[in-house]
Chain A
Amino acid sequence: MNLIMSLTVPAIIALAAVYGLYRRVDVFDALKTGAFDGLKITAKIMPTLVVLLTAVYMLRASGALDALTALFAPALRLFGIPPETASLIFIRPISGSGALAVGSELITKNGADSLIGRTAAVMLGSSETTFYVIAVYFGAVGIKKTRHAVPSALVADLAGYIAASWAVRLFYK
């Protein structure tokens, strides 16, 4: 398991390079262009994170985040979700950069390899900014009555959070 995990990333990079050569792609140029796009994306989210992390750190320091956690702890425990991730679960469907701010604070504070840090990472990696997606898609085509789209998307989110919590507990001892 560990060997496979260690090999995944190098193997994907190597396969991409070999396949690129085979398809006569300018491999180095493609990597460079893509990496520059990545830098631009990070530069674009930096101001948002500066603003949002300020608020997240203040909330954490005031003790309000812990109070929120305590408030929703019984309900979350019922599903097997670590209550510390409550703040992440609330912001995830609303704001992508907000979720990145809250999630990375959880990961840094609890440790990347801790149960809470891992669960937060898996939740972040397996979900989307639901309300933003719904607004963009329906807004673009002029749909006003969205029927079951919102409840169904939220069912998917909740199922994902529960699965993330269980998977982390099962896979990483």
Chain B
Amino acid sequence: MALNLVWTGMIIVSIVYGLLSGSIEAVGSAAVQGAAEAVKLCIGICGVTSLWTGVMELLSRAGVTAQLKNAFLPILKRLFPRSKNNAAAMEAVSANVAANLLGLGNAATPLGIQAATEMARLSRDGVATDDLCMLVVINSASIQLIPATVAAVRAAAGAENPFDILPAVWLASAVSVLAGILSAKVMARIWRAR
């Protein structure tokens, strides 16, 4: 696991750098401070995040995910030209995008993998198809409408209005997804699948 190395590296760098720069005393007190802050942070954010997962559960029981899914189908067929006639793949991709939009990460991933399994039928020798790359690029760019965890962190840190970052988040998400889609379309021509 990459994290094993990253974490150990972080600790060693802190000690070595602390010794060299004379801040080792601060490193010592920080070593016990971080753990306490982590618990404080979790307690601080669990109220807002729970409220939000509650609202999302309500929305998905009311059928909003299914309605969003149908709304996305026509747009997504343009993004996945080779899979557009594969009903099972398109159904799964649309449900995946709808779940991502509502921030239902636990539901989104299995749906995305279901779509990937369908799309992978067209791939040969473990080489990714254009559609598979597009699916991964869309899922690695966030399209979540309400970033509840971040808003909760802001609330815990005393933000005046924790959700006032929404317009900036939407703009940044849109730019990121569009850049991903465009670059995937362009690079697919350069990086041919032979």
Residues of A within 8 A of B (CB): 2, 5-6, 8-9, 12-13, 16-17, 19-20, 22-23, 25-27, 30-39, 41-43, 45-46, 49-64, 67, 91, 93-95, 98, 100-101, 103-105, 107-108, 111-113, 117-118, 121-130, 133-134, 136-138, 140-149, 151-153, 155-164, 167-168, 171-172
Contact = CB atoms under 8 A, between A and B. Distances in A.
A62 B28 CA distance: 9
Q: Which 7 A-B pairs have the closest CB atoms?
A: A34-B57, A156-B180, A160-B176, A125-B147, A38-B50, A57-B34, A38-B53
A5 B34 contact: no
Nearest to B103: A125
Given A5-B166, A53-B38, 17 more contacts: A2-B164, A8-B163, A34-B56, A38-B53, A50-B34, A55-B10, A58-B15, A60-B30, A64-B18, A103-B150, A128-B140, A138-B128, A138-B136, A140-B113, A148-B184, A148-B187, A172-B168
Contacts of A171: 167-168
B61 A20 contact: yes
Interface in B37-58: 37-39, 41-42, 45-46, 49-58
A138 to B, nearest CB: 7
B49 A121 contact: no
Interface in B1-39: 2-3, 6-7, 10-11, 13-15, 17-18, 21, 23-24, 26-27, 29-31, 33-35, 37-39
A42 B34 contact: no
B86 interface: no
B132 to A, nearest CB: 6
Contact of B58 (A34, A136, A137): A34
Contacts of B179: 155-156, 158-160
B68 interface: no
The residue among A2, A63, A161 with the most chain B CB atoms within 10 A of its own CB is A63
A49 B116 CA distance: 31
Contacts of A56: 10, 34
B171 interface: yes
Interface of A is mostly: helix
Interface string B112-126: 110011011001011
A54 B35 contact: yes
Contacts of B13: 59, 62, 64
A20 to B, nearest CB: 5
A126 B173 contact: yes
B171 A137 contact: no
Contacts of A2: 161, 164
A145 B133 CA distance: 10
B44 to A, nearest CB: 9
Contact of B46 (A17, A33, A39, A156): A39
A168 B62 contact: no
A148 B10 contact: no
Q: Which of A22, A103, A122, A144 has the most CB of B within 10 A?
A: A122
Contacts of A143: 120, 123, 126-128, 132
Nearest to B45: A42
Contact of B137 (A49, A54, A149): A149
A35 B47 CA distance: 9
B133 A149 contact: yes
B14 A61 contact: yes
